[in-house]
């Protein structure tokens, strides 16, 4: 299989994630779209590593997955806190936490 096909899939996944972040208002869906964008970037890193014949892209993808796992823990904790206080997971309600 041609490695450029992986780049096309990566671009498609990133585009779907970016549209989801811009269009959706639910915090959990926005969070999942951000994770989709991170996975698209990981696919690009691994593809370029395969094209160039080195492991640098795979190492970067591994550290990106570690950071994404930490982001999931913190992000879901914030979303659960907003939901418990406002009974809504809407992104518009997050601005009400300033009080």
**Domain 26-86 indexed as CATH 1.10.287.3510:** yes
Domain boundaries, the chain: 26-86
Q: pLDDT, tens digit, for every residue of 38-95?
A: 999 999 999 999 999 898 889 999 999 999 999 889 988 888 887 887 777 677 666 6
Distance CA 86, CA 74 (A): 18
pTM to 2 decimal places: 0.82
**Residue 5 — pLDDT band, cuts 50, 70, 90?**
very high
Distance CA 22, CA 97 (A): 21
- Asked whether residue 1 carries a pLDDT value surpassing 70, the answer given is yes
Q: What is the pLDDT of residue 25?
A: 82
Are 78 and 30 within 8 A, CB to CB?
A: no
CA distances from 49 to 6, 11, 60 (A): 12, 16, 10
């Amino acid at each position: 299989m041609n490695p450029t096909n992986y780049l096309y899939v990566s671009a498609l996944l990133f585009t779907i994630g970016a549209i989801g972040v811009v269009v959706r208002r639910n915090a959990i869906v926005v969070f999942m779209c951000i994770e989709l964008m991170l996975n698209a970037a990981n696919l690009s890193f691994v593809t370029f590593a395969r094209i160039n014949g080195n492991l640098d892209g795979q190492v970067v993808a591994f550290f990106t997955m570690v950071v994404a796992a930490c982001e999931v823990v913190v992000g879901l904790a914030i979303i659960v806190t907003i939901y418990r206080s406002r009974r809504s997971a809407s992104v518009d309600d997050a601005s009400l936490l300033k009080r």
